[in-house]
Structure 1
Amino acid sequence: MMHPKLTAAAAMAVLLTAPALAQTDMLGVPGPILFQGEDYALAWTSQPSDAYFKQEYVPVGQAVETYADMVLVEAVAGAITPAQAAASQVEMLASRKDTDPVVNHEIIRNEVTGEVLLDFLVSDLSADPILVEWNAYRYLPLAEGEGVALFAISRRGYGEDGVRAFLGDLGTVRGEAINALATFDIPAIGIR
């Protein structure tokens, strides 16, 4: 008979090594998603509440836990607008100011479509290795019904040398990625 802790460890090992294909698309965006010449495969899904759904996509060879590049697709059903969703994220960023020396953000609003693009930088300097993460979140109305969809990109640098190189390249990468995100033909995101 196997020891209970070994059984749990074996189960976790199976879960952590399960292929991305085992994930179930909940938003009508199964992937792969082609963004800036890179294919992103569905790697992780979650439903934190009855009205909130999250999906994460990474390139082949990357893992959700240690990614360098990620695409996120989320949906929240209910009486919320893209501007309100972005404001909530900005509030969270403001709460980090005392503990995160790099936190910063910029908002771009599209008054015609009601979309909001939030561009922000965060870090975790207590992680081992340290990491810096840049994100661009494009908030838009859900394809069907009340609520907000999010189509986002995230990039990370790890370790002192990796963070230094990441921040050095960010000026060029950021502008290109924001332009690509702002003009990206986002698939219809809906709660299934």
Structure 2
Amino acid sequence: MFLFLTGLLFFGFTPKNNQDEVKDYLNVPGPLTFDKTDYNLTWSSHPSDIYYMQEYIPKGDNIDKFKNMVLLNVIASDSLKLEAVVALKLAELTKLQKENPVIQFKSYDNSNTGEHIIDFLLSANEPDGKHLSFVERNVYRYKYFVDKSGQKGILLFGVSTRAYGHDIYKFFSDLKEHRTEIIPKVGDFSVPEITLTK
């Protein structure tokens, strides 16, 4: 299980392309409304028996070069501990930070709900390695779930924003001024009930 989770959580920017037909594995067709913006189901994957991924973007955005995204990831397991998943993600970010000084992260624990939030910043370079291709800010909220059939597991609700090229400078400026505003919005978001489709 540890090696499996490490593989799932290891960070990588993978081209996805818009899918003509997107399977709704979680029975959450959308749109999902977050911070007054509607996000439509655009991409999904079921890479293993217990892992499900769905990504939603606003109308007119592109999954492979998005600016705004919300996502739902699910690990179906009766025994997996939330703390273990969060610890693996933090370990991954710590390792990446040693190689990339742009990477920053901070975690928040909610003692009342048992949920965890990780706020982190990632980046990718242009092929020449001298300039940033894009930066990506993510706020991931981890929580336990039980679906309508009784299946237990861990659910990740995430919000991602990206900036490319010359827009990166303004992105950093805005982030410095408004970084904390999105944290309570992610924490308070009413995550829809899910039912896994295998």
**TM-score interval for Structure 1 and Structure 2 normalised by the shorter chain:** 0.7 to 0.9
How many residue pairs match? The answer is 175
1:181 correspondence with 2:186 = yes
Name the one with the larger helix percent. 1
Give 1:172 shift: 4.1
Q: TM-score if structure 1 supplies the norm length?
A: 0.84
Q: In the alignment, which of 158, 162, 168 is matched to residue 156 of structure 1?
A: 162
Return the index of the structure with the highest Cα Rg.
Answer: 1
CA contact (8 A) 2:24 2:44 kept: yes
Please say if residues 18 and 64 of structure 2, whose CA atoms lie closer than 8 Å, have aligned partners that are also in contact. Answer: no
Residue 86 of structure 1 and its aligned partner are, at CA, apart by: 1.5
Aligned-partner SS, 2:40: strand
CA distance in 2, matches of 1:180, 1:97: 26
Q: C-alpha distance in 2, partners of 1:157/1:17?
A: 19
RMSD over equivalenced CA pairs, Å:
1.9
Is the Cα contact below 8 Å between 1:119 and 1:135 reproduced in 2? yes
Measure how far apart 1:120 and its partner are.
Answer: 0.5
TM-score by length of 2: 0.81
Pairwise CA distance, 1:42 = 0.2
Q: Quick one: distance in 2 between partners of 1:166 and 1:52?
A: 32
User: Which stretches of structure 1, 4 residues or more, deviate above 6 A after TM superposition?
Assistant: none
Name the residue aligned to 2:10: none
| Distance apart, 1:18 and its partner CA | 4.9
Unaligned runs of 5+ in 2: 1-15
Give matches, 1:14-163, under 5 Å.
16=17, 18-19=19-20, 22-78=21-77, 79-126=79-126, 130-144=133-147, 145-159=151-165, 161-163=166-168
Q: Hey, what does 1:9 align to over in structure 2?
A: none
CA gap 1:60/1:82 in 2 versus in 1, 3 angstroms: same
